[in-house]
Amino acid sequence: MNKILLLAFISLFIITGCKSGNKVIIELVEKPEVISQLDFTISGEVKGLKSNYIFYQIEDGHGFLSEGKINLQNNGTFRSSLSIKSPTNEYGILSFYSDVNHNGIFEIEIDTVQKLGSFDLLFHKSIVM
């Protein structure tokens, strides 16, 4: 019975979140065309988000290379230096997430439910292990 109530609550939470009509848009202004070092910088703007931070995660299809929190300026802009582990192939994805429970901590099981956007990455062969 408790599992049914929990499932119903989660479903209602997801449906309510989807019907809110708040569309979040993430625009990347700066991102290397090809990432040739394990440290690189991104910048951009987030529109339609009430929070002053977002979470990010970088993966290469085989594992997670980096994750963290990016603080936003009052106008939604950001600039952040990211560090990654060596990828296992040349292709990756940079994904952004909101903080579902608003606790400021990136909890993969909870926060990755609400993906705000993602961008393809290309890693230079020199950093691929």
Residues 53-108: pLDDT tens digits? 999 999 999 999 999 999 999 999 999 999 999 999 999 999 999 999 999 999 99
13 located within any domain = no
For residue 32, is it within any domain? Answer: yes
* 90 in Cβ contact with 123 (< 8 Å): yes
- Answer whether residue 16 is part of any domain: no
Q: Is residue 7 part of a domain?
A: no
Asked whether residue 29 is assigned to any structural domain, the reply reads yes
Q: Which domain holds residue 93?
A: 24-127
The predicted-structure confidence for 25-63, as pLDDT tens digits, reads as follows 999 999 999 999 999 999 999 999 999 999 999 999 999
In a domain, 115, yes or no: yes
Q: What is the pTM of this model?
A: 0.82
pLDDT tier, 11 (very low <50, low <70, confident <90, very high otherwise):
very low
CATH number at residue 28: 2.60.40.1930
User: Does residue 66 lie in a domain region?
Assistant: yes
Please, how many CA atoms are within 13 Å of residue 41, restricted to the half-sphere of its CB? 6
Tokens found for residue 11: 């479903």
Counted domains in the chain: 1
Between the alpha carbon of residue 123 and those of residues 23, 28, 31, 80, the distances in Å are 30, 17, 12, 18
Assigned domain for 38 exists: yes
**Integer Cα distance of 99 and 61 in angstroms:** 23
d(CA 13, CA 55): 20
pLDDT bin (cut points 50, 70, 90) of residue 20 is very low
